[in-house]
Structure 1
Amino acid sequence: MEGALQTLILAFTIGLTGALAPGPTLVATINTSLQRGWTMGPKVATGHALAEVVVFLLIVVGLASVAERHTAVVAAVGGTALILFGLMTLRGSRTATMEFSPEGASSNPYLAGALTSVANPYFWVWWLSVGSALVLAELREGILLAMIFMIGHWGADYGWYTFVSTSLHRGRNFLSEVNYRRTLALCGAFLVLFGASYLAGAWAG
């Protein structure tokens, strides 16, 4: 039970870092929410989650058997990637903004969430490095923990995109640009520290 809770919290925290980062999925959430209300946030998040279900299954089916023979390598790659993504997040937090374009919002928020995810290079780089390493680490403890990791990860996506869409729908600025940048910087620092810990574990193993 304790291990499951730790996995859930860890996945949520790391997932929040990715969700907060400015990108096409965030833009899709803002655009559709301005036009059609707060429910667009969770709908875009659902489209994003559906794309990640496919990636998750590919990792479990395609990489699990290979990773078992290269545990240290997977952990080293994952730890290094976490640190790099953390440094990138810290750097980007200095100028991060939630700018949007009111034009071109998709009529289907589910499709918008899926397409903006798979069309984003960051999505694939993250899942082929950090995401796959973390999922495989949990998978070694059992498929249940791997699934709990995904639930925590999606919790961050749903929480953030719903927060954004609700804020826009109510016409209030719940999260100022300054606080947004601070939150992003905090997530970046967490990634660096966790990545260093993850990497130290790989070397120790």
Structure 2
Amino acid sequence: MSWIEFLPMVVVVSASGVMSPGPLTFATIASGSKKGWKAGPSIGLGHLIVELPLVLVIAIGAAFISSLDLRWISFGGGLFMVVFGFLTIKGSKEDGQEGKVLRLSGHPVTVGIGLSSLNPYFLIWWATVGAPLVIIAMDMAGVLGVGVMFASHIWLDFLWLTVLASLGSRGKKLGRFYPYFVAGLGLALVVFGITFILRGFYGVTL
């Protein structure tokens, strides 16, 4: 796989996790309503403090399992992508999420750390959907490859959290289009999952 193929995949797969509704999404909107758009980058920093060590742990693990049959790694990662894709599509239809927003009084960085480290979906996403991306990056260029992959992912976190905080500061909601947007990301995740499986076992892509 070339970098031209890999980096767009990282961005799209990352978007499926970054932009899916969850505790951090609505906490950022709530925080933005009180602290303005600057709450977004602050929450992003807290998120990064949790996420970077997690990615490094996965990369270290990848160094030990690099001798394993990559077909099964591709299959496992692809299967989880398909499952999470369908769960994302299903979750996009759920209503009433705005009512779950908490009026947070803590510092945004603390909010980012707390809601990231205590979010099972976030941890499972990296252990399953994100792990194959780390493994591929490690295989392509070692630690440098992981750094490029992480940079291609983390900017989306900061951008999206800043947008959410900005919307919160203006008292706006994401609108009716958001569920469809999330469903589209879920569908993209399903497609990439199938691609991982086909590439691993048959050397072909969709």
* Helix, strand or coil at the partner of 1:68: coil
Q: 1:92 aligns to what?
A: 91
**Aligned pairs (5 A) from 1:50-89:** 50-89=49-88
Q: 2:198 aligns to what?
A: 200
Sequence identity, in percent?
28
The Cα shift of 1:4 comes to: 3.8
Answer with 89-98 or 76-85: which moved more: 89-98
Separation in 2 of the partners of 1:85 and 1:202?
19
Unaligned runs of 5+ in 2: none
* Helix, strand or coil at the partner of 2:93: coil
Query: Are 1:96 and 1:181, in contact at CA under 8 Å, matched by a contact in 2?
Result: no
- Taking structure 2 as the reference length, the TM-score comes to 0.89
* Helix, strand or coil at the partner of 1:140: helix
* Structure 1 runs, 4 residues or longer, greater than 3 Å off: 2-8, 100-104
Separation in 1 of the partners of 2:161 and 2:100?
17
Question: Counterpart of 2:165 in structure 1: which amino acid?
Answer: S
Deviations 1:13-37 (A, max 9, x none): 2111112222121132122111111
Q: 2:128 aligns to what?
A: 129
Distance 1:68 1:58, change over 3 A: same
Distance 1:3 1:97, change over 3 A: farther
- Taking structure 1 as the reference length, the TM-score comes to 0.89
Separation in 2 of the partners of 1:166 and 1:52?
23
- Between the two proteins, the alignment pairs up a number of residues equal to 202
The Cα shift of 1:72 comes to: 1.9
Separation in 2 of the partners of 1:12 and 1:106?
32
Separation in 2 of the partners of 1:168 and 1:101?
14
Separation in 2 of the partners of 1:126 and 1:187?
14
Q: 1:29 aligns to what?
A: 28
Query: Are 2:33 and 2:171, in contact at CA under 8 Å, matched by a contact in 1?
Result: no
Unaligned runs of 5+ in 1: none
Separation in 2 of the partners of 1:150 and 1:38?
24
The Cα shift of 1:76 comes to: 1.0
- Over the aligned positions, Cα root-mean-square deviation in angstroms equals 2.0
